[in-house]
Amino acid sequence: MAQENGKNKIWFITGASRGFGRVWTEAALERGDKVAATARQLSSIAGLKEKYGDNVLTLELDVTNHDQVKEAVTKAHEYFGSLDIVLNNAGYSLVGTIEEASADEVRAMYETNIYGPLAVIKAALPILRKQGYGHILGTSSNVGHVTLPVIGYYCSSKWAFEAIHESLAAEIKAFGIKVTIIEPGAYATEFGSQESLKFAEGMDIYGDFKAEFFQSLQQMDRGNPAATPDAIFKVVDAENPPLRLHIGKYNLTGVREAYAERIATWEAWEEVAVAAHG
């Protein structure tokens, strides 16, 4: 896809080894952009350097290591001379009911899903602010608006992710920096692999419930990850990109239903709420 503004963009992408991160990294390189691609294991992205040469910088990065984050962002900026797009894509899901998952497991997931992206943003902001431009993208999910059982803690991390980016967008708009939250629905990526999932120790009382839940997930109509790059490019090439972008066929339907139910509940209890104002 040709650049609409004629300028090759420079990306910094976390979680570039698989899933959307890999798809979007390769798509950006194919259209002539340059990418600092990062992953926990450098070997998982070594092939990118062989194929795309100097247009890609491959860096080992564990987003929970904040010193390493700062070093990686600095290296990318030094290598390419500027950064146009900072895309936080690294993350995983903790599978377990609210009762099953331990505090340590929840904390570890938040280290990757929340504190890791925050470290990347904080490392990149001084660079983007000095440039007077830049675009921060974050991969959230449709479960940043709705919830599912069994992955409730993962949903909670995406709700937090959404709130942080919405506040961030207002705070850095004056510096010429844009923010977009990418919200995929169900896709046939490696997100369901053992590398992208961690399982809490199960309790027998939830066994049947979880079995039914997993069966329902298997029946979902999953999107094709290869169909997503054009949507991402439209966003990063737009003069006025949206704060949020749903990608997938069913997201908006689910969000409409969830918000309609919430509004109906709030309205039903409005009299009680108003009386509580005093």
Which H, E and C letters describe 74-117, residue by residue?
Answer: HHHHHHHCCCCEEEECCCCEEECCCCCCCHHHHHHHHHHHHHHH
Query: Would you call 82 a catalytic residue per the annotation?
Result: no
**pLDDT, average across residues 80-102:** 96
**pLDDT, average across residues 207-226:** 90
Q: Residues 114-171: pLDDT tens digits?
A: 999 999 999 999 999 999 999 999 999 999 999 999 999 999 999 999 999 999 999 9
Q: Among 17, 52, 92, 140, which one carries the catalytic annotation?
A: 140
**pLDDT, average across residues 39-48:** 95
Query: Would you call 158 a catalytic residue per the annotation?
Result: yes
- Asked if pLDDT for residue 31 goes beyond 80, the answer is yes
- Asked if pLDDT for residue 186 goes beyond 90, the answer is no
At the top level of CATH, the class of 10-247 is alpha beta
Q: Among 154, 156, 178, 187, which one carries the catalytic annotation?
A: 154
Provide the residue ranges of all domains of the chain, joining segments of one domain with +: 10-247, 251-278
First to last CA, the chain: 58
- Asked if 28 and 35 count as a contact pair (C-beta separation under 8 A), the reply is yes
Residue-level pLDDT at 219 = 82
Query: Would you call 154 a catalytic residue per the annotation?
Result: yes
- Asked if pLDDT for residue 4 goes beyond 50, the answer is no
Q: Among 17, 141, 156, 158, which one carries the catalytic annotation?
A: 158
